[in-house]
Amino acid sequence: MPKNNISNRKMMPHMRRKLATTTGLVMLAFGALCLRIYAINRDNGDKYTRQVLSQQEYDSIVLPYKRGDILDSKGTTMASSEKVYNVILDSKLAGVDEKTIQATTQALAKCFRLNASELTKYIKDNPTSQYYILSKKLTYDEIASFVELQNDTKNNPDIKGVWFEEEYIRVYPNNSMACDVIGWTDKDFKGHYGLEEYYDDILRGTNGREYGYLNEESALERTTKPAVDGNSIVTTLDANIQSIVEKYLEEFNNTYKNAYRDGNGAQNTGCIIMNIHTGEIMAMASYPFYNLNDIYNTDPLIGTTLLDVNGKAQDEVITEDTLKRLDTDTKYANLNNLWKNFSINNTYEPGSVSKVLTVAGALESGKISGNETYFCGGYLEKGGHEIHCHNRLGDGMLTVKQAVEKSCNVALMHIGEAEGKTNFLQFQQLFNLGLKTNLDLAGESRTASLVYNEKTMGEAELATSTFGQGFNVTMIQMISAFSSIINGGYYYEPHIVSKIISSDGTTVKNIEPRLLKQTVSESTSDKIIDYCNGVVTEGTGTTARPAGYAIGGKTGTAEMAPRTKRNYVVSFMGYAPANNPDIAIYVVVDRPNAAAQDDAKYATRIVRKILTEVLPYLGYPMTEELSEKEATELEENKLLLHAPKTVEADANNGQENENGEKVTNEEGTTITVTEGSNLTEGIQKEGSEPTLSPEEEALNAQEEEWKKRLESYEKDPETGYLIEPGTGLLIDPQTGALVEGDSYME
């Protein structure tokens, strides 16, 4: 026999003993486990039974949380959650006998206008059903009559098997008010757009749950884990100011709708009002509006430009017939565009409003003092291009203040040249252009790629940037930057929520104004205020002045690319009161529905109407005498409260200047005399002889050459427009504006 077999036989008894030992140990462990399970079941069986029962879905009810409210600064509710009820039928309880079926179905039919026969059939066909929704999202008033019957067990003992499942719906009491700011929630209470999205985590709560379990007598009992409601937010908005803003944006649309082309009064019209000392947004709106309680309603799309499924604008305006043929994806793309907030999402070239930023940067960097004089002959040659002023005929001699008042492109190009590319770009960044403001709203656009840098800015780019062409901004960027240069130089982060409060009204967090940086000195700020006050009293913004109040500001007219289409964004950035500003207002009209879009009065007139109501509401006393026309207007609108006496409209005639001299110009308005300036419109004191510097002599020579050029312009016999020598372009002799074609660069 082989050796291996002998060795295996010797090992077998040892292995048997080892296997028997292991088996014994396993049996002992199993026995111990059985004893332990018996002990647990004996001592804690009821506890674990209840835990198992509590997890059974059919016997567990979700207790919904209430999403927090959104309030305006004075406590007006702008968004809230309203409890509603779903009517649930439990066939198992309602179908115990014919008497119960009849009593329950008749009560349901009476209170909810349901068909009793159909209910009876359902109960009998589905005897084990315990959850069948009969009606959804009813208010308490709508279920109250049934609850009363059901609770009256003495008279109605057989009404059984009906209970009410609670949930919440989001409600916006003011429908479309501040729709772009507030945003909305979906069926799962997730926030989309605006405050609802940005503060979603704050507004959300946590659902509770009611669990069922069996007691010692095997009777069903319940335990409740309560819901935790979401926190509410208090905004900086003022519902009254917001309603005034929206009223006049809608009025503008109604006035200009279908005026020149089919469609709305403008592609977009936006307005922001801000407290310049805190960065608080008091109102923000853009037209068209939509109803927050009916977000999928496509009626607000009528009159807007059709977008394709990828969001690209088409050469078509949406009509009722258009809506009928749109597929779901295209319709949603257009709704998505409607839901966006123009004031923070859309970008555009700011135009002349940004001239005050250019001047502020040049003053602050010390590259100009504010005492300079510039000559405008209608254009400058920069980077191989003739870059024109909006006044192709030229503005003549101008001080820095007059350059701002008349919004002269040529003077601004001279100022930008003095400031230099590096300084200009540094101040753009200091004013936060190209950077997000971090406003607490969802959807703010990034613009870093839409502004120039050291590598991309050449001579021509610097020249056009000085008057707001060639780079893009958002409305919130511009009003935040502008506010900093009229409040003493302090840049506040714009914000729209001031406080977070719990469901019981306790303050969870105060959100204080956040000062980020100083952009300019107080002296520069004072000069800008002086210049901008002149824009409204003497310059391009006279139509922005509200009845009874002095304000300051700056007009803007920006030609959109491609320049040959002559599409414009016009705007006005204003502030009040004039000499001690507190609030800023910015109105932007994107492509007005007019043959000639390049007129800032589309924006200034909106500002005038808004401030005529807002300033008295805020308690500011009138500072200016009213004309008879203004007084009549205020009386008709019930806005005349303790106003100064009325005067004739030309009462500025004959006012005295700072030297006690009465001065007027041809239009009957006061001329400010600047000591030491050499202006064609200035007033020279009798008997004095000016001493001219070489620079002033050069300017005078330019002026003489300019006058000769103007004399060479021929007049078109048919239209009366001037014909520009060399180009043949037609120019309006009253405004100096080009009648058609590229307006500023050749």
Percent of the residues in the chain that have a pLDDT greater than 90, as a whole number: 70
Of the pLDDT bands very low, low, confident and very high (cuts 50, 70, 90), residue 53 is: very low
Output 359 or 646, whichever has higher pLDDT: 359
553: nearest Cα among 494, 519, 601: 601
Say whether pLDDT at 535 is over 90. Answer: yes
What is residue 581's predicted lDDT score, i.e. its pLDDT?
98
Largest Cα separation within the chain, whole Å, is: 149
The torsion angle over the Cα atoms of residues 366, 370, 372 and 378, rounded to 10 degrees, is 110
Cβ-proximal residues to 661 (8 Å cutoff; 6+ apart), any chain: 673, 683
The arithmetic mean of pLDDT across residues 88-108, rounded, is 92
Using DSSP's 3-state secondary structure scheme, residue 387 falls into strand
Structural tokens at position 140: 């308490």
Say whether pLDDT at 154 is over 50. Answer: yes
Which pLDDT tens digit goes with each residue over 404-420?
999 999 999 999 999 99
- Provide the mean pLDDT of the chain: 87
CA pseudo-torsion sign 684, 685, 688, 693: negative
Between β-strands 232-235 and 70-71, what pairing exists: parallel, antiparallel or unpaired? Answer: parallel
At which residue do the structure tokens 């106003």 appear? Answer: 643
Output 627 or 73, whichever has higher pLDDT: 73
Range of lowest pLDDT (494-498, 578-582, 593-597, 718-722): 718-722
CATH classification code of 61-235: 3.90.1310.10
Which pLDDT tens digit goes with each residue over 318-332?
999 999 999 999 999
Cα–Cα distance for residue pair 689/334, rounded to 1 Å: 67
Which pLDDT tens digit goes with each residue over 419-455?
999 999 999 999 999 999 999 999 999 999 999 999 9
> What single DSSP character describes residue 656?
B
- Count of CA atoms in the C-beta half-sphere (13 A) of 81: 27
CB 500 within 8 A of CB 233: yes
Report the helix count and the strand count for the chain, using DSSP H and E: 22, 30
> What single DSSP character describes residue 206?
B
Angle value at C-alpha 471, between 357 and 372, nearest 5 degrees: 35
What is residue 151's predicted lDDT score, i.e. its pLDDT?
93
Cβ-proximal residues to 29 (8 Å cutoff; 6+ apart), any chain: none
Which pLDDT tens digit goes with each residue over 329-387?
999 999 999 999 999 999 999 999 999 999 999 999 999 999 999 999 999 999 999 99
H/E segment holding residue 398 = strand 396-399
Angle value at C-alpha 479, between 473 and 481, nearest 5 degrees: 80
Say whether pLDDT at 664 is over 60. Answer: no
Say whether pLDDT at 273 is over 50. Answer: yes
What is residue 528's predicted lDDT score, i.e. its pLDDT?
98
Percent of the residues in the chain that have a pLDDT greater than 70, as a whole number: 86
What is residue 732's predicted lDDT score, i.e. its pLDDT?
86
Which pLDDT tens digit goes with each residue over 665-707?
333 333 333 333 333 333 344 445 567 777 777 878 888 888 8
Range of lowest pLDDT (297-301, 317-321, 728-732): 728-732
Using only the alpha carbons of the chain, give its radius of gyration: 37
CA 620 to chain centre: 26
Of the pLDDT bands very low, low, confident and very high (cuts 50, 70, 90), residue 743 is: low
Angle value at C-alpha 355, between 349 and 361, nearest 5 degrees: 115
Range of lowest pLDDT (38-47, 112-121, 188-197): 38-47
Cα–Cα distance for residue pair 266/317, rounded to 1 Å: 12
What is residue 32's predicted lDDT score, i.e. its pLDDT?
74
Of the pLDDT bands very low, low, confident and very high (cuts 50, 70, 90), residue 577 is: very high
Cα–Cα distance for residue pair 339/301, rounded to 1 Å: 11
204-241 b/e (C-beta count within 10 Å ≥ 16 → b):
bbeebeebbbeeeeeeeeeeeeebebbbbbbbbbbbbb
Output 74 or 727, whichever has higher pLDDT: 74
Of the pLDDT bands very low, low, confident and very high (cuts 50, 70, 90), residue 21 is: confident
Residues of the chain with CATH 3.90.1310.10: 61-235
Cα–Cα distance for residue pair 315/306, rounded to 1 Å: 7
Say whether pLDDT at 217 is over 90. Answer: no
What is residue 57's predicted lDDT score, i.e. its pLDDT?
40
What is residue 630's predicted lDDT score, i.e. its pLDDT?
85
What is residue 44's predicted lDDT score, i.e. its pLDDT?
62
Cα–Cα distance for residue pair 560/623, rounded to 1 Å: 38
What is residue 663's predicted lDDT score, i.e. its pLDDT?
40
CB 624 within 8 A of CB 655: no
Integer angstrom CA distances of residue 446 from 303, 473, 542, 725: 28, 9, 34, 44
Which pLDDT tens digit goes with each residue over 379-399?
999 999 999 998 999 999 999
What is residue 671's predicted lDDT score, i.e. its pLDDT?
31
Beta bridge partners of 587: 271, 572
H/E segment holding residue 251 = helix 239-256
Say whether pLDDT at 253 is over 50. Answer: yes
Instruction: State the SS3 of 546-601.
Output: CCCCCCEEEEEEEECCCHHHCCEEEEEEEEECCCCCCEEEEEEEEEECCCCCCCCH
- Count of CA atoms in the C-beta half-sphere (13 A) of 541: 37
DSSP, residue by residue, 683-706? -PPTT------HHHHHHHHHHHHH
What is residue 690's predicted lDDT score, i.e. its pLDDT?
61
CB 716 within 8 A of CB 723: yes
